[in-house]
């Protein structure tokens, strides 16, 4: 069977409850700050679209532990002005793994402190 005939496996993306709350919080914040509702929806969709890229390349975000010098399985993906924190579940070579999106922060938030609490 050639490579083009092989089934292409993608990682499943799962948004944990805190990530869902973060997206609602972001939407509420944007609307409270007079961002046009259509633009607010576009911002959320841009974040989700960027996170979908992880299905094919779950390691594209940076290692939080590698950046800050401590052991953690969390990675982060920059999504415009926002930072999505996620964890890849399954061995590195497994193409049938899962990505758990844990939190979504604005880039100005102290995400590290919040993650460690």
For 20, what's the count of Cα atoms within 13 Å in the CB-facing half-sphere? 5
In this prediction, residue 62 carries a pLDDT of 95
Residue 64 is assigned to a structural domain of this protein: yes
CB 98 within 8 A of CB 90: yes
Residue 21 is assigned to a structural domain of this protein: yes
Residue 79 is assigned to a structural domain of this protein: yes
Laid out side by side, the sheet with 98-106 consists of 12-15, 98-106, 82-89, 74-79, 62-63
Q: For the domain that residue 35 is a member of, what is the CATH number?
A: 3.30.2310.20
Residue 3 is assigned to a structural domain of this protein: no
In which residue ranges of the chain is pLDDT below 50? 1-7
Residue 46 is assigned to a structural domain of this protein: yes
Q: Which residues contact 15 (CB under 8 A, 6 or more apart)?
A: 23, 101
Range of the domain at 30: 10-116
Q: Strand 12-15 and strand 62-63: pairing? A: unpaired
In this prediction, residue 94 carries a pLDDT of 60
Residue 2 is assigned to a structural domain of this protein: no
pLDDT in tens, 33-67: 999 999 999 999 999 999 999 999 999 999 998 88
Structural domains in the chain (count): 1
Residue 4 is assigned to a structural domain of this protein: no
């Amino acid at each position: 069977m050639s490579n083009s005939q092989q089934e292409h496996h993608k990682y499943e993306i799962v948004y944990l409850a805190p990530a869902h709350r973060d997206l609602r919080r972001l939407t509420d914040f944007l609307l409270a700050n007079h961002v046009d509702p259509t633009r607010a929806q576009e911002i959320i969709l841009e974040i989700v679209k960027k996170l979908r890229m992880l299905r094919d390349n779950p390691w594209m975000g940076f290692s939080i532990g590698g950046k800050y010098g401590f052991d953690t399985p969390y990675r982060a993906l920059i999504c415009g002005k926002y930072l999505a924190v996620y964890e890849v579940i399954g061995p590195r070579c497994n193409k049938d793994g899962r990505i758990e999106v844990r939190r979504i922060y604005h880039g100005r938030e102290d995400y590290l402190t919040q993650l460690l609490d």
